[in-house]
């Protein structure tokens, strides 16, 4: 499968200044920009910066960023699912995972995450993919936001909905381990019926295991 990528961008005015939301961004551009020191949700900022550059080098990898001037203040990643997760077991070329989305605390609450997803889906090539994201409450910044699990889940769902991702049922044990965890999915307009059936078999792998 050829992974087409078409660059899109939009400006987002916020009370803290105007951001440029753009992507998919090339590895070279990512390396050129500074990476904000408050982007710490997944690993140390310099390591996460390196990880984003590595993802951008992948044929299927997509990084959409929010930047203020030359500094990245938010991003979202799309790539093939982790080989250790069930979602990779189908070896589906047209299944991508929204692996991480992060915005620095200073710019939260201004619709940055929502706009990262909107710009991501402005690329027509996204209609060729099933996009999934797995939401686990232990990744959420409950302390920093002051929200409880259910309030945070509502915020996450609303943000994902902006990119066309909606809740889907699954019997994945990790997702089922807590009721706030969830699988969200966007099925592109050009995804064929056979791919959807293969994906459904990945969603429910335990139903025949009696």
The pLDDT value recorded for residue 207 is 65
Question: What percent of the chain is helix, strand and coil (3-state, nearest 5)?
Answer: 35, 25, 40
Partners of residue 134 on adjacent β-strands: 183
Question: What six digits make up the tokens of 62?
Answer: 């997509």
N-to-C CA span, the chain: 36
| Phi-psi domain of 76 (left: phi exceeds 0; alpha: psi -120 through 50; beta: other) | beta
Mean pLDDT over 79-99 rounds to 95
What's the whole-model pTM score?
0.94
86 half-sphere exposure, CB direction, 13 A CA radius = 18
CA distance 186 to 127: 9
Tens of pLDDT, residues 163-191: 999 999 999 999 999 999 999 999 999 99
Partners of residue 186 on adjacent β-strands: 131
pLDDT greater than 60 at residue 125: yes
* Average per-residue pLDDT for the chain: 95
Contact 174, 206 (CB under 8 A): no
Maximum pairwise Cα distance, the chain = 57
Contact 100, 76 (CB under 8 A): yes
Partners of residue 113 on adjacent β-strands: none
The pLDDT value recorded for residue 210 is 43
More confident residue, 124 or 208: 124
Mean pLDDT over 113-139 rounds to 96
CA distance 22 to 66: 7
CA distance 16 to 26: 26
The pLDDT value recorded for residue 208 is 54
Mean pLDDT over 57-75 rounds to 98
Kindly state the percentage of the chain with pLDDT values over 90.
Answer: 91
The pLDDT value recorded for residue 174 is 92
Q: How confident is the model at residue 18 (pLDDT cuts 50, 70, 90)?
A: very high
User: How many Å is the Cα radius of gyration of the chain?
Assistant: 17
Mean pLDDT over 187-210 rounds to 89
188 half-sphere exposure, CB direction, 13 A CA radius = 20
Tens of pLDDT, residues 26-63: 999 999 999 999 999 889 999 999 999 999 999 999 99
| Class for the domain spanning 8-203 | alpha beta
Contact 184, 170 (CB under 8 A): no
């Amino acid at each position: 499968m050829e992974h087409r990528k078409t660059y899109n961008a939009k400006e987002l005015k916020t009370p803290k200044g105007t951001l440029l939301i753009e992507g998919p961004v090339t590895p070279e551009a990512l390396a050129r920009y500074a990476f904000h020191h408050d982007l710490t949700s997944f690993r140390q900022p310099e390591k996460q910066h390196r990880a984003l550059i590595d993802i951008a080098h992948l044929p299927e990898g997509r990084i959409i960023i929010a930047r203020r001037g030359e500094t990245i203040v938010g991003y979202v990643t799309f790539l093939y699912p982790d080989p250790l997760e069930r979602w990779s077991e189908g070896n589906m070329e047209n299944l991508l995972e929204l692996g991480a989305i992060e915005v620095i605390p200073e710019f939260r609450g201004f619709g940055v995450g929502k706009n990262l997803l909107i710009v991501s889906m402005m690329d027509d090539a996204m209609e060729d993919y099933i996009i999934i994201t797995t939401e686990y409450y232990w990744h959420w910044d409950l302390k920093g936001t002051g929200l409880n699990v259910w309030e945070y889940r509502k915020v996450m769902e609303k943000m994902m909905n902006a990119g066309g991702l909606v809740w889907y049922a699954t019997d994945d044990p990790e997702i089922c381990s807590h009721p706030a965890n969830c699988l969200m999915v966007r099925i592109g307009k050009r995804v064929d019926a056979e791919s959807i059936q293969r994906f459904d078999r990945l969603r429910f792998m335990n139903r025949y295991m009696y």
